[in-house]
Amino acid sequence: MKITSARVVVTCPGRNFVTLVVETDEGVVGIGDATLNGRELAVASYLTDHVIPCLIGRDPARIEDIWQYLYRGAYWRRGPVTMSAIAAVDTALWDIKGKVAGLPLYQLLGGRSRDGVLVYGHANGADLEATVDAVGKYIDMGYKAIRAQSGIPGIDKAYGVGRGDMHYEPADARLPTETVWDTPKYLNFAPKLFEKLRETYGFEHHLLHDVHHRLTPNEAAQLGKALEPYRLFWMEDATPAENQEAFRHIRRHTTTPLAVGEVFNTIWDCKQLIEEQLIDYIRCTVVHAGGITHLRRIADLAALYQVRTGSHGATDLSPVCMGAALHFDTWVPNFGIQEYMRHTEETDAVFPHDYGFEDGFLFCGEAPGHGVTIDEKLAAKYPYDPACLPIARLEDGTLWNW
C-alpha cells in the first residue's frame, strides 16, 4: 500500500478546524486533526507546502518511521505548528492502520484498560450564584466531574467563563480582544466559589478549576493552600511552565493536585515536571503533542512517576482529535480524566463520529480506526473565519499573559 494523495480541509462550522485527509492506492482513507487555535492557516500551509509532498509514495503502515522522518528530518524541531502538523499525519496513519486491520484504534494500542472514559464538563457563570447553578445542571446531566469557572466581582470579561450553557468558543475576534485582570480580586474570590459549591453539593462530585496561567508561583501556592479544604480534583495551569522549576515552589506549599500541559508540544516540555513529580496530571493532547505516537511516549514516562493523563479537550480540538483521544484514553494504563467541551451541532454534522456520552463517561466506538469521518461537501459551506484568543492586561496597562 502507498500514499497517493493528501489534502488539507479548512472549515468553520462554528469555529475553525484544520483536517488532513490521506488517501492510498487501495482506497483506504485516514484523517487527522491539525487545528491550532488562532494559528490554523500556519499549520495548513506547513502541511501543504512542506509535509504532503514528502508523504506521496510512502507506505502508510510505517507510522514510526514517518513520524521520525517528519520530526528529525525537518531540522527545525518541536513547536506548536510543526508538532500539530506531525500529529495530523500520525493520527491519519493510525486511522488507516485500524481500517486495514479491521480494528478500532484502542485495540492496536494494546486493548482496553477500562470500559469508559471519565470526562469533566465546563460549568460557567457570570457570578458565584450562576456558577453554582451551572454546576448543578451538569450534575443533573450525569457528570461526575465538573470544572467550575466564574465571573469575578470587579473584573469584566474574565477569561474561561463561557457565554453559553453548553457551547463556548473563547477565540472571539480577528485581532486579540484586550481584557483587564486583577490578581488580588481573583485570589480573594476563588476560594469562596468552591466553599459555596461544597456547601451546596457536598463532596460526592469531583470539582476542577483552571487558573489559565495567570499567577506567579507564589500566588499559585497561596491559592492551592486556600483551596485544600474543598478537595479539588485538580488546579490547572496554575503558573506558566516554560520554567518547569517554578512548580517546585507550588508543590512545597500545597497538596492540591496540579495539572498542566495543554500547550506543551513534546516530552521535553514536561520531562522535569514528571521526573520530579511536580505535577499530578499531564494534559498534553493528541493534536498538539505530535499525535498518538508521541503522546504514548509522554504517558509511558508519566506512568513511571505516578503521573496520570488528563488531556485537553476544549472545542478547539475537532471531533477527529476527540475520537483519537478517546481510543488513547481507553487504552492508556495511567489514565486520569478527559476534558470534554461539547461541539456545536454544525461541527458534529461536519465530523460524524461514533463516540458517545453516558452517565459521566465517554465511550469510543468499535468502528475500524478512530471512528470519525469528515463530510467535505458540508465542510465547504463553512469558510475560514479568522479568530484569536483574548489577552489580558493589568489595570495599569501591563501585559499579563504570562
Task: Enumerate the active-site residues.
Answer: 159, 212
C-alpha distances in angstroms, 232 versus 88, 259, 273, 279? Answer: 34, 11, 20, 14
Give the position of cell 466553599. 195
The letter for the amino acid at 18 is V
CB contact at 8 A, 277 and 307:
yes
- In Å, the largest CA–CA distance within the chain is 62
Residue pair 205/178 in contact (Cβ under 8 Å)? The answer is no
CB 224 within 8 A of CB 235: yes
**CA–CA distances in Å: residue 314 to residues 147, 232, 260, 319:** 12, 20, 14, 10
Among residues 117, 16, 80, which one has the least CA distance to residue 336?
Answer: 117
Q: Answer yes or no: are the C-beta atoms of 346 and 372 closer than 8 Å.
A: no
CA count, 13 A, side-chain hemisphere, 195: 6
Centroid of chain to Cα 341: 10
How is residue 295 written as a grid cell? 503522546
CA dihedral 376, 378, 382, 387 (to 10 degrees): -60
